[in-house]
Amino acid sequence: MPPLTVPPLPTPLAPQRILIVLLGAIGNVTRALPLLTRLRRAYPKAHIAWAVEPAAAPLLDDHPALNEVLLYRRTRGSLAFLPFLRDIRRRRFDLVLDLQRHAKSGLVSRWSGAPLRLGFHRKNSKEGNWLFNTHTIAPVPDFSLKLGQYLKFADALGLPDDGVHFELRLRKEEELQVEARLAGTARPFAAFFLGSRWSSRFWFPQATAEVARTLIQEYGMGVVLLGGQSEAAFAQEVSKAVGGGVTNLSGQTTLRDLIGIFTRARLALGPDSGPMHLAAATGTPVIPLWVPRVQCGRRRGVLKLWCCRDRRPAAPAMSDTARSGGRACSGLGRNRYWRWLAGC
């Protein structure tokens, strides 16, 4: 069995061509952006590319720290993977950062031919990923913040720590499109992101509607509903239950639109999902609705309020327990979170 330790990275490092391998998902790519910006500040003349799948690729459009996006179209299967690997190989990268920790990303890293390939430690990787890389970061604690895990790569490279910067930006025409979508929406407004890739993380339409109604009636806020086509029925039920003051954009927005909408929102609320991380990255206070388990036939969730600006809870108390369908949910509009948000 190979040892758990690996040789230290050579110093000083002066890579000219850097590849980040993080194919998805949206939340992971969002949380890796501060690593990208830190790389650019440390290596201002380097060519930096990112291997990613189409779903998360819009997050990287026109990013000031990135030179190139390399798309892997997974839906085309192995017919797409082999040409993708050849495309990676011919670019002759000298440093690869494998953030995915799976066999597939390990293959991309190894096939690149880069002499330095940095990945997750054996204790944290899966499917033998660590075997494909020449070096690893130190082990990270289980369940530690993904953003912090990715920044460990910058620490391993000895890059200066200049804070957390996402640098999500829209083009002028994209800003105008967002304003058009929000025309008629009362300001300030709350953005409700409704969906998640896991249906077990969804909240409930009636509870969502009650929070929306409270924000509209007691705080004079607008409410914007966000989601894909699969959340259209959910959004319609919420909109109907609220009875007015709601802008329903479910199924009508792009990932780039979400950046502009979250940037303009007073707060964002919804289940654990890619949009949750994206909202936090824009600096908007986020209330994620966690539904971690089923107990006694009823889903239990934890309500937490986070603000990414200073990377700590934005309210004195970190969490309340919200029980689906019970009075804890119906009382959300009157607890200390809404009083705090009213003063944002």
pLDDT of residue 305: 45
Task: Write out pLDDT tens, residues 261-287.
Answer: 999 999 999 988 999 999 999 999 999
17-156 with 178-342: one CATH topology? yes
CA 97-123-129 angle, to 5 degrees, is 45
Ranges 142-146, 191-195, 196-200, 223-227: which has the least confidence: 196-200
Contact (Cβ atoms closer than 8 angstroms) between residue 222 and residue 186:
yes
CA distance 89 to 158: 26
Q: Quote the mean pLDDT of the chain.
A: 84
- What pTM, to 2 d.p., does this model score? 0.84
Q: What is the b/e burial string over 153-173, where b = at least 16 CB atoms within 10 angstroms of the residue's CB?
A: bbebbebeeeebebebebeee
| Domain spans of the chain, in order of start | 17-156, 178-342
Q: Supply the DSSP string of 217-259, one letter for each residue.
A: HHH--EEEEE--GGGHHHHHHHHHHH-SSEEE-TTT--HHHHH
Tell me, which fold does domain 178-342 have in CATH? Rossmann fold (3.40.50)
CATH of 17-156, one of 3.40.50.10300, 3.40.50.2000, 3.10.20.30, 3.30.930.10: 3.40.50.2000
